[in-house]
Amino acid sequence: MFPIYRAVGHKVYGCQYREDIVEKLRKTAEHCDCLQCFFVIHSMGGGTGSGLGTFVLKLLEDEFPEVYRFVTSVYPSREDDVITSPYNSVLAMKELSDHADCVLPIENESLFDIVSKINQMTNCGKLGSTIKPASLVTSSAGGIKCSREKPFDAMNNIVANLLLNLTSSARFEGSLNMDLNEISMNLVPFPRLHYLVSSLTPLYTLADVNVPSRRLDQMFSDAFSKDHQLLRADPKHSLYLACALLVRGNVQISDLRRNIERLKPSLQFVSWNQEGWKTGLCSVPPVGHSHSLLALANNTCVKSTFVELKERFTRLYKKKAHLHHYLHIDGMEQSYISEALSSLSDLIEDYNQLDAANCGPAIDPPRLKIAM
């Protein structure tokens, strides 16, 4: 089977179907009473997701420049079977940095680890419940999935759960509902550094298992542990630029404030944004649970994913391996690849500078001088 490379998806199919895509977007937007933002969900490693997906992102910016663009990007794992995924991902990264307002990076490895944990707990009987035949943690045959086989349905449902929690304030009432646009306004102090690390608790909301709800305080602690991140990273030991907590269920505002004060001493925030918290409280809990929490962190820990991606890209690029599959496409030049690599390097350097600056003594920003 011949794979669709990112150049084909972006340069060929994007241009070929541009008008059809624009027409469908306009018709869909006309049915919205209050168009807050667009959600783009795509993979980074494949040619269609990274190519056509980022083409649609640029199209949204051209056609609806005032509407925010949220992107959920699934990054390939280290054992990815698409050998050209580093090319596809780095080319897509430039489009995400240039044309997205918020990006929620997700790694297949992290999703697989979460589902494996569910399976392990179930096999050990720690959940104290039975699994229904159509459970999301079982295969289509009704048995527990083998650890060698990736349970894509369950992995996809974790991502769906992320979006359900993210949009809960727009769909249900609450005492402290958060507008989607507020996420970008409060969590992105620098335009290009809009990559938000997400974590969920409980992790089993969409699985068809009767899991007892976590205690409220434990739920907040879980959200900052590396085991609950949808990206293989440890934000608690990295630098926070800002953080949002989106809570669902029977939770009081005082509970939010109390847990923030409890957690603050263990989290490292940038010196100029020590109070960089944004909170949302939706009254309607998820099905089967009394409460849930989605944490979104603008944290420098995301840099490790980008550094690893750059290393994988460099190993291919320095040998010009498989490069001909991209350069033979009309409109695709090697300069595009060089620019994409440069964009990724600049992004990594921006995170490096933030880490370095916060390690030194805190310096107050210069105040505005008024001429007399």
List, in sequence order, every beta strand (DSSP E) within 20-139.
37-43, 68-75, 102-107
Residue tagged 């620019």 (tokens): 339
74-95 tens-digit pLDDT:
998 877 777 888 999 999 999 9
Average pLDDT over residues 63-74: 94
Q: Give 90's contacts (C-beta < 8 A, 6+ positions apart).
A: 309, 310, 313, 337, 340, 341, 344
The region, left, alpha or beta by phi > 0 then psi within -120 to 50, assigned to residue 288 is: left
Assess whether pLDDT exceeds 80 at residue 68.
Answer: yes
CA neighbor of 276 nearest in space, from 237, 316, 239: 239
Assess whether pLDDT exceeds 80 at residue 27.
Answer: yes
pLDDT band at residue 152 using 50, 70 and 90 as cut-offs: confident
Assess whether pLDDT exceeds 80 at residue 64.
Answer: yes
The rounded distance, in Å, linking the Cα atoms of 123 and 131 is 10
Assess whether pLDDT exceeds 70 at residue 160.
Answer: yes
List, in sequence order, every beta strand (DSSP E) within the chain.
37-43, 68-75, 102-107, 197-201, 239-249, 268-269, 277-282, 291-299
Secondary structure (3-state) at 71: strand
CA neighbor of 80 nearest in space, from 319, 308, 321: 308
pLDDT band at residue 325 using 50, 70 and 90 as cut-offs: confident
| % of the chain beyond a pLDDT of 90 | 51
CA dihedral over 350, 355, 361, 366, signed as positive or negative: positive
What does pLDDT average to over the chain? 84
Average pLDDT over residues 38-66: 92
CA neighbor of 270 nearest in space, from 248, 241, 245, 244: 241
Minimum mean pLDDT range among 61-70, 129-138, 344-353: 129-138
Phi, psi of 130 (to 5 degrees): -95, 155
pLDDT for residue 358: 78
| % of the chain beyond a pLDDT of 70 | 83
pLDDT for residue 128: 40
Most confident of the ranges 168-177, 200-209, 227-236, 346-355: 346-355
Query: What tokens were used for 18?
Result: 């541009």
Amino acid identity at 50: S
More confident residue, 57 or 143: 57
Minimum mean pLDDT range among 41-45, 76-80, 255-259, 264-268: 76-80
Report long-range pairs for 212-220 (Cβ below 8 Å, ≥24 apart): 213/289, 213/290, 213/291, 216/251, 216/255, 216/259, 216/291, 217/259, 217/262, 219/291, 219/292, 219/293, 220/245, 220/259, 220/262, 220/263, 220/293
State pTM to two decimals. Answer: 0.86
pLDDT for residue 133: 40
- Upper half-sphere CA count for residue 17 (Cβ side, 13 Å): 14
More confident residue, 150 or 233: 233
Residue tagged 């997400």 (tokens): 198
Assess whether pLDDT exceeds 90 at residue 348.
Answer: yes
> Please, are residues 90 and 313 in contact by the beta-carbon 8 Å criterion?
yes
- In angstroms, the Cα distances linking 202 to 77, 92, 121, 289 are 24, 31, 14, 9
